[in-house]
Each structure stands twice: as structure tokens, then as C-alpha cells.
Amino acid sequence: MSDGLKILLAAPRGFCAGVDRAIEIVERALEVFEPPIYVRHEIVHNRHVVQRLREQGVVFVDEVSEIPDGAVAIFSAHGVSKRVRAEAAGRPLRVIDATCPLVTKVHLEVHRLEREGYEILLIGHAHHIEVEGTMGQLPPGRIRLVQSPAEAETIEVRNPGRVAYVTQTTLSLDETEQVVSVLRRRFPSLRHPAKDDICYATQNRQNTVKALVGKIDLLLVIGSKNSSNSNRLVEVARQHGVAAHLFDEPEEMQDAWFEGVRTVGLTAGASAPEDLVQATVKHLLDRFGGTVEPFVHTSESITFSLPRDLAAAEPG
């Protein structure tokens, strides 16, 4: 590698509008209210973001029951079930909802489909917090989870003429299409979401990697192990025959990854901060030398506003 590495820096990458908004909500709450502030679940799936907020007085909990009376309670960007919302509403808590508006859109869709008498299938991954929140919009058993084309082949429905699907927002576009095509074959009048449930940020980051894979020997993805959209970026590269690795910190990169590699693509999942991208670039240049070039596939301009009462609140 005498000339060093060529680093192609993917754009768009990193923070999406929903993550930006969720972090801003917590930061604003820290300004307005006395810490500690309680957040149910990691506000976004990124170890650095969570650690930084923890140091500023945020306490992350798994359940509302762990939050003391009178405290500020924030729901994470992934959304919550009706049960969690009702439990919080029944307690003396100041609740702030940081659910991404694009997750809320899926929740509203579920309620509309239920009113219209559809049997609802959710394409997604079991145990993901967003899936728990979406499934929990309706009583148990009313939304059925489909995780793979194989499950789509075997799932039984009451009325094949009245089936609809929604999806988790951070899935692989290609795998979801495979599941949908099985469902469509089995249930020809299958109702699809009016607008894609897989969010713009997930789509843009995956499509950027698809455009990048023909130009690189290795894809580096900055993101945490529990970040769904980050894992999908690694999978997209590997499905196209390109080695790919997911890591939280530049120090986790291993020399063996770079054997025979001349061109590296660098991207970040929707919950990974830009300072980690820049630290990774510096780390690579210090270690291998070389050049950095932007690889711009799409531009993004979506932003979401803060909840009105929080935006207007004065520090107490």
C-alpha cells in the first residue's frame, strides 16, 4: 500500500432527522429541567451518544416502573407500545415523547388498517424495540410478525382477501422486497403502505452503499452493534461481495482488515455522530496515509421540529 489508502466518504451518512430530534429533545430537557432526566430505553442506538448523555445527568431505564414519581420521562426515538404510554400516563410523571415522526406514521397506519378491518402483518425483527412498540399499538395477537421470506410462505391468515402489511423503518430494502413478493403472490390483494415505511434515511444510506460497492475493496460502517440500520449497511456490502465491518470506535479497526485493500468506503449508521467519522478518517490517515474524497449519492434536507411545549419551555 505504498500510496496509502483512498478513502471514499459516503454522503449521506450518520445522523438522520429522527435521531437529531431525539438527541435535541434530551439536551433541551436537560437545560429546562433539573437532572436527572429519565429516558426509557437508549434514546438512540449509539454507545457514544448514550454515554455522553449519561454523563450529563440522563438515567436510561428499561421500564417506566423504574422512574420515580415527579420525574421527567422521555420515550426513545424507537416509539413505545400503548401499554407503556398508558402506564406512564397513569403515573405522576412529566412525559416527553421523542418517538421519530416516521415511526409514529407507522403506528397511525396500524390503527387505520385495524379500523378498516385488515389483518395486519409487520415485517421486522423480533425483539427490536421499535417492533415491540409497533406490535404494541394493538392488543396481543392482532399484529403478526413476519421476519423472512420463509415465514411469509407459511403464515396463515383468516381472510386472504383482507391482509395488509407495515414494516420496521430500518430494514434491508432488498430483503423486505423478497418478503413482500412472497406475500403478494400468496395474497394478491395485499395492501401496502401508502408511502414506504422503510424511512428515507435507511433507504438513502443503503442506496449510497450500493452505489459505492463497485468502487471499493472494503466498507467501514461506524455504528453500534444494536443499531439495526447500521447492521443492514454491512449486509448490503457483503451481499455485493465486498468485505465490511461495523465498529463503535476507530481503535476497534484491525490491521488484518486492510490487507490488499487500496480503496475504502466509509459510512455511518443513522445514530452515529459525525465526530466519530472524522476521528476514523484521522485514524486511517495516521496509520496508512492516503487521500479522502467525498462520495455524494443523494442530498438530505429533512428536519423534524421539537415538541411544541418543550421548544417553548424556559429553564426552571
List residues with catalytic annotation: 130
Candidates 210, 114, 227; CA nearest to 169 is: 227
Which of 29, 123, 131, 201 binds ligand SF4 (CB under 6 A)? It is: 201
Q: How far is the CB of 196 from ligand SF4 (least distance, A)?
A: 11
Binding to ligand SF4 by residue 168, rule CB under 6 A? Answer: no
Q: How far is the CB of 19 from ligand SF4 (least distance, A)?
A: 5
Binding to ligand SF4 by residue 167, rule CB under 6 A? Answer: no
Taking CB under 6 A as the rule, which mask of x and - marks residues 101-140 in contact with ligand SF4? -xx-------------------------------------
- Alpha carbon of 182 to those of 124, 125, 151, 176, 242: distances in Å? 15, 17, 9, 10, 28
Residue 264 or 270 with smaller CB distance to ligand SF4:
270
Which of 229, 231, 267, 280 binds ligand SF4 (CB under 6 A)? It is: 229
Q: Which single residue brings its beta carbon nearest to ligand SF4? A: 18
Binding to ligand SF4 by residue 58, rule CB under 6 A? Answer: no
Q: Residue 113 and residue 305: Cα distance in Å, rounded?
A: 27
Burial environment of residue 53 by CB neighbours within 10 A (0 to 12, 13 to 18, 19 or more): buried
E-only strand ranges, 100-180? 119-123, 143-146, 163-167
Strands 94-97 and 119-123: unpaired
Q: Residue 105 and residue 309: Cα distance in Å, rounded?
A: 21
Q: Residue 293 and residue 312: Cα distance in Å, rounded?
A: 41
Calculate the CA dihedral of residues 122, 125, 129, 132 and round it to 10 degrees: 40
Buried-state track 266-288, b at ≥16 Cβ within 10 A, e below 16: bbbbbbbbeebbeebbeebeeeb
Residue 170 or 224 with smaller CB distance to ligand SF4:
170
Q: How far is the CB of 48 from ligand SF4 (least distance, A)?
A: 16
Q: How far is the CB of 209 from ligand SF4 (least distance, A)?
A: 15
Residue 76 · residue 43 · CB < 8 Å: yes
Binding to ligand SF4 by residue 7, rule CB under 6 A? Answer: no
Taking CB under 6 A as the rule, which mask of x and - marks residues 11-30 in contact with ligand SF4? -----xxxx-----------
Which of 202, 204, 224, 230 binds ligand SF4 (CB under 6 A)? It is: 202
Q: How far is the CB of 291 from ligand SF4 (least distance, A)?
A: 30
Beta bridge partners of 9: 266, 294
Interacting positions 248-277 with ligand SF4 (CB under 6 A) = 270
The footprint of ligand SF4 (CB under 6 A) covers 16-19, 77, 100, 102-103, 169-170, 199, 201-202, 229, 270
